[in-house]
Structure 1
């Protein structure tokens, strides 16, 4: 049972059952439909505008700047959406952040199945491959607060493996402090203590991707280049200036590889005692747009 950091399950992509074009608005926390003019299909920015406006109607004391802080989407971008002045569609992560802020939902598998219309289609097409045909993970809100601590994060990650993690292993990795933090997680009922060591109460749980990303620098430190001759590790980093088609092809290859790796990690044929990890990451080699421009 793989201990992944993002939920990897959705009950399927629901077919859009409307007999004609429609939009989806958030009304009192629920999705509602209303017909568009005959023959015209709602665009992504139109749906985002409708959703955000509905949120401001429901919460009149929320300002654009306040919603920008909550969502992580720049106030200028939000204003452009609301004024219909955006050229093209916002980036997928901008749409994801807005959808998450509107619903207070951080689980990817829930979000991509919660929306229909252009927003739902973008979320499914962009993020769906990461959650389809995978196992269901559970979200534990209180756990996220604990796992902001990097040592607790790695303790829980190890404890979520099939074999758990022994106290001796924790001492070897983190010293006495590691044992103390494991005991804290145990006392708060996030861990079980068995004969062979600590085991996570929930082997399959999802975390906010921002928490996971925050721990990536420490994760990379577990890579041991001096041990390459042992044949257990691998490290390649490549970069080049490419076009959008190349990015799509690279992502397709990586997604296929991720599925195959996941199948191996889940298979009983490969059960073992080695706590192994992989990192699957690609992005543009720049700092992206600032929060005050279209994201």
Structure 2
């Protein structure tokens, strides 16, 4: 028996590493998109409570290859399954809602479809006129396609996703990002426009890399919190993305 979710997760990680002797903890952390230090804390039982739900899901999805929230809970009984169930509020998620989330994941690998779904997923939804303004005729085609396939509903002239706040799998990031950068207006300086962008490099030690990653995560959480505050809700659609990584061998290979 496991005393808590952290000890059960530690057991799963240890078993996975033992069955893959060539896989290091560092490599697993990179594949899962979490810090090696956090995984080591799990393995050494340093968590007083439970690890974050983000860490837990990222590791389990990487180890099992399972992306469905419901299946992850079903496949892990005990304190870990209970932790997942409670954190994800799956008692409030019907089978139809879970199916919707899984199905829309398969659609948004196309960048145009992604942005239409993202716009419709905003609190105010999106109108046909706005989609055409932002994404042109191809955007309208994508909008109608998603609507005809019942991924969107129409309310008072605006399209909405059937569920708000759907998180998309991380493997869509690169294909969507390549097209998203075309939406950034680089003609005006940040002083004269609403946007903000930057690209730069540096060199840090391991501790500095971990510190920078934590700062990025903290900033990301602050951005999410702000967008959920009612006093800031409005008619202006915005998009934002971020990335931080170390250089990989042949990272720009064709």
Match of 2:16 in 1: 48
Equivalent position of 1:208 in the other structure: 169
Taking a change above 3 Å as real, the CA distance of residues 149 and 23 of structure 1, as seen in their structure-2 partners, is closer
- Preserved contact between residue 160 and residue 202 of structure 1 (Cα < 8 Å): yes
The reply on whether 1:94 has 2:31 as its aligned counterpart is yes
Matched length: 209
Partner of 1:197: 158
Are 2:242 and 1:280 equivalent residues in the alignment? yes
Structure 1 residue 243 corresponds to structure 2 residue 243: no
Structure 1 residues 240 and 176: alpha-carbon distance in aligned structure 2, compared to 1, 3 A threshold = closer
CA contact (8 A) 2:152 2:162 kept: yes
Confirm or deny that 1:150 pairs with 2:111: yes
Counterpart in the other structure of 1:63: none
TM-score normalised over the length of structure 2: 0.67
Instruction: Give me the CA root mean square deviation.
Output: 3.8
Q: Does 1:17 align with 2:3?
A: yes
Structure 2 residue 202 is matched with structure 1 residue 265: no
1: CA distance, partners of 2:59 / 2:26: 13
Residues 17 and 25 in structure 2, CA contact (< 8 A), matched pair in contact too = no
Gaps of 5+ in 1: 1-15, 25-40, 53-80, 121-130, 290-295
Kindly state the Cα deviation for residue 161 of structure 1 after the two structures are TM-superposed.
0.7
- The SS at the match of 1:193 is strand
CA gap of 1:86–1:226, structure 2 versus 1, over 3 A, is closer
Q: Distance in 2 between matches of 1:208 and 1:187?
A: 23
Q: Secondary structure at the match of 1:17?
A: coil
SS of equivalent to 1:221: helix
Q: Relative contact order (alpha carbons < 8 A, sep ≥ 6): 1 or 2 greater?
A: 1
Structure having the larger proportion of residues in helix: 2
C-alpha spacing 1:238/1:107, structure 2 compared with 1 (3 Å): farther
Mapped contact 1:107–1:206 kept (Cα < 8 A): no
Local SS of the residue matching 2:214: helix
Q: CA deviation at 1:179?
A: 1.7
CA 1:238–1:145: 2 relative to 1, 3 Å: same
User: Based on CA coordinates, which of the two structures has the bigger radius of gyration?
Assistant: 1
SS in 1 for 2:109: coil
CA distance 1:89–1:162, change in 2 (3 Å): closer
In structure 1, distance between residues paired with 2:208 and 2:76: 29
Deviations 1:205-255 (A, max 9, x none): 122211233201111221112233434111122212211100111011111
Equivalences for 1:50-199 in 2 at 5 Å? 52=19, 81=20, 84=21, 89-94=26-31, 99-100=60-61, 103-106=64-67, 140-199=101-160
Q: Is 2:126–2:158's contact at 8 Å kept on the other side of the alignment?
A: yes
Q: Secondary structure at the match of 1:226?
A: coil
